[in-house]
Amino acid sequence: MLLLPLLTFAVLVGVWSYVHNHVAPEFPAPGETWEHAKEVLAAPFYDNGPNDKGIGWQLLNSLARVGAGFGLAAVVGIPLGFVMGMSRGVQMALSPLIQILKPVSPLAWLPIGLLLFKAVNPSAIFVIFITCIWPMIINTATGVKAIPQDYMNVAAVLKLGKLELVRRILFPATLPYVVTGMRLSLGIAWMVIVAAEMLTGGIGIGFWLWDEWNNLNVSSIILAIGVIGAVGIVLDLMMGWAQHKLDYTKR
């Protein structure tokens, strides 16, 4: 099971060494990067002031922004998706606007956030909110529309009110769709926060990466890329676990 992944990484290290030795000698060697990574990761939570913090603090700040924007998007997007799925009129009213705004790059909203909030942190959260909300709305609405008509007939026979209909039928039946939308949103948000922080500065893994580039510390950049990827995998595994547990079709 581990042979092929190890072979892949061995090939990557070989290519990396070739680049260092024959293409770009200024590019750090794998061994040099490894030693630097051990040094940085040995004290991830040191704090020498606002402009000199360990990589652990950088990650926590980035995760906090992602969590805030992701949570706000869930609070707004999931109920809106339910309303769109239940009401053809609401769907017809909102679908054109969503189709126009959905393809817009999340970073295009960053100047709007800076204009509205005049601060880096809420602007970054605003960008994550915009990033996350579209998959949540669309997947939730799709899940509601995919509910078998038999379920709705049972609700009619039981004379369920709107809230009871959502609580007892719509929400459990659409939960796999909802979690899928959340999983997609979280993956995109983690990519976007890095780019947003590179542009806005402050504290965060994206800013740390860009600051290391300004210091010409390529080993730190490679470490940051590895750490960002590892955190992304952990976030996706967490959402995948939740998706599996909440999917009633797999029970």
| pLDDT for 70 | 97
| pLDDT for 108 | 93
d(CA 58, CA 213): 15
Please report how many Cα atoms fall inside a 13 Å half-sphere around the Cα of residue 69, on the Cβ side. Answer: 31
| pLDDT for 173 | 85
pTM over 0.95: no
The matching CATH number, chosen from 1.20.1090.10, 3.40.220.10, 2.30.30.40, 1.10.3720.10, for 55-246 is 1.10.3720.10
Domain-wise residue ranges, the chain: 55-246
Q: Which are the contacts of 162, defined by CB distance < 8 A and separation ≥ 6?
A: none
d(CA 134, CA 123): 18
Across the chain, which has 251 residues, the per-10-residue mean pLDDT values are: 85 92 90 92 88 90 96 96 90 92 92 92 95 95 87 76 78 88 94 91 90 91 94 93 72 51
The tokens describing 83, both together, are 């309303």
| pLDDT for 15 | 94
